[in-house]
Structure 1
Amino acid sequence: MKSFRGVMAGALILEAITVGLAVPVVARLGGGVGTAGGWVVIAVAVALVVCCGFLRRTWIVPVILALQLALIALVVTLPAVTVIGVVFLAFWLWALWLRRDVARRMAAGLLPSQQDPDRTGHDGPA
């Protein structure tokens, strides 16, 4: 599942950029960057980038999901940031479901790359 780590790294960087772009929204609508909400948004953006370095660890997926919940927890003070959290939480749940499905198919030998071309029933080009 090395390729899935690449997908995770790309998604983390894209999410960090998106959360970082929310900082001006926090500055204008959230009472300023120096508020608790502003610091949380900045901390989550930095934590998302840091998570890229720990993708081989088994505990990183719960940490990533916890960061999504931290963004969603800002619903009262920063609803725009909550939307980012909800969208990326949906992505992460979908990606984890895909990873589980591929692992299940891989274990059962059902992936197309695991099929024996001689057993397909085709005699070759017609």
Structure 2
Amino acid sequence: MKSFRGVMAGALILEAITVGLAVPVVARLGGGVGTGKGWAVIGIAVALVVLCGLLKRSWVVPVILALQVGLISFFFTLPAVAIIGLLFLAFWAWALWLRRDVARRMAAGTLPSQQRRADSGE
């Protein structure tokens, strides 16, 4: 599933950029970047980038999901940041479901690339 790691890395970078772009929102509505909210958002953005280099580890997916929960926890204080967390949580749920489905189909031998073509003479 090396290709899935590439998808995960791309998604993590896009999420880090999106969370980083929320820093001005924190500065304006959350009391400033120097507050706990500001440092938490910056820390989550940095953690998302760091996780790109650790995608081979088995514990990365639970950490990614925990970061989504961390973003969603801003629901009452900064709803805009929580919405980012909800959107990316939906993406991660879909991506992990897709990975499980492909692995199941791969094990069963039902992927299109695993089928013999009748017209090729194989």
Taking structure 2 as the reference length, what is the TM-score of the superposition?
Answer: 0.96
Residue 20 of structure 1 is matched in structure 2 by: 20
SS at match of 1:117: coil
Pairs within 5 Å for 1:44-83? 44-83=44-83
Residue 106 of structure 2 is matched in structure 1 by: 106
CA 1:123 to 1:6, structure 2 compared with 1: closer, same or farther past 3 Å? closer
| CA–CA separation in structure 1 for the residues paired with 2:120 and 2:76 | 64
Percent identity over the alignment? 78
Q: Which runs of 5+ in 2 are unaligned?
A: none
Structure 1 position 99, deviation (Å) = 0.1
| CA–CA separation in structure 1 for the residues paired with 2:32 and 2:120 | 69
Taking structure 1 as the reference length, what is the TM-score of the superposition?
Answer: 0.93
Pairs within 5 Å for 1:33-48? 33-48=33-48
1:73-123: per-residue Cα shift (whole Å, max 9, x none)? 0111111000000000000000000000000000000000000113xxx59
Query: Could you say what the CA RMSD is over the residues aligned between the two structures, in angstroms?
Result: 1.2
Residue 96 of structure 1 is matched in structure 2 by: 96
1:52-93: per-residue Cα shift (whole Å, max 9, x none)? 011001100000000000000011111100000000000000
| CA–CA separation in structure 2 for the residues paired with 1:91 and 1:123 | 38
Give the structure with higher Rg (CA): 1
| CA–CA separation in structure 1 for the residues paired with 2:101 and 2:53 | 25
| CA–CA separation in structure 1 for the residues paired with 2:107 and 2:8 | 22
CA 1:123 to 1:45, structure 2 compared with 1: closer, same or farther past 3 Å? closer
CA 1:111 to 1:75, structure 2 compared with 1: closer, same or farther past 3 Å? same
